Amino acid sequence: MQQQHKDLLHLFGEHIKRLRLKKKMSLNEFAFKSLLLTSATQSRIENGLVDLKFSTLVKIANAMNISPSELLEGFDFKFKL
């Protein structure tokens, strides 16, 4: 995986974590109750170690009670594949 790709995943994972913390949700609460993921998987997402599928992105947005576009709002996606 290219370094730029890794950097983008890391930044987006941090973005997801900030949003989760803003909602005052623990990692376990968010993963188990909201997403039906393991806390280890959610942690890997937030640490930028997982390249998300679109369906996972939608699940994360739904778990935060926001739209996928709101989840992506304000995030800089200047990235070259």
Fold of 3-72: 434 Repressor (Amino-terminal Domain) (1.10.260)
Give the separation between CA 39 and CA 15, rounded to whole angstroms. 17
- pLDDT over 70 (residue 10): yes
Which of 50, 80, 63 lies closest to 19 in space, CA to CA? 63
In the chain, % of residues over pLDDT 70: 91
Q: Convert the pLDDT of each residue in 21-54 to its tens digit.
A: 998 988 888 887 776 788 888 899 999 999 989 9
- Domain ranges (residues) in the chain: 3-72
Helical H segments across the chain, by residue range: 3-22, 27-28, 39-46, 54-63, 68-72
Helix axes 3-22, 39-46, angle to 10 degrees: 120
- Predicted pLDDT of residue 29: 83
- Predicted pLDDT of residue 74: 81
What is the distance between the terminal CA atoms of the chain, rounded to a whole angstrom?
A: 10
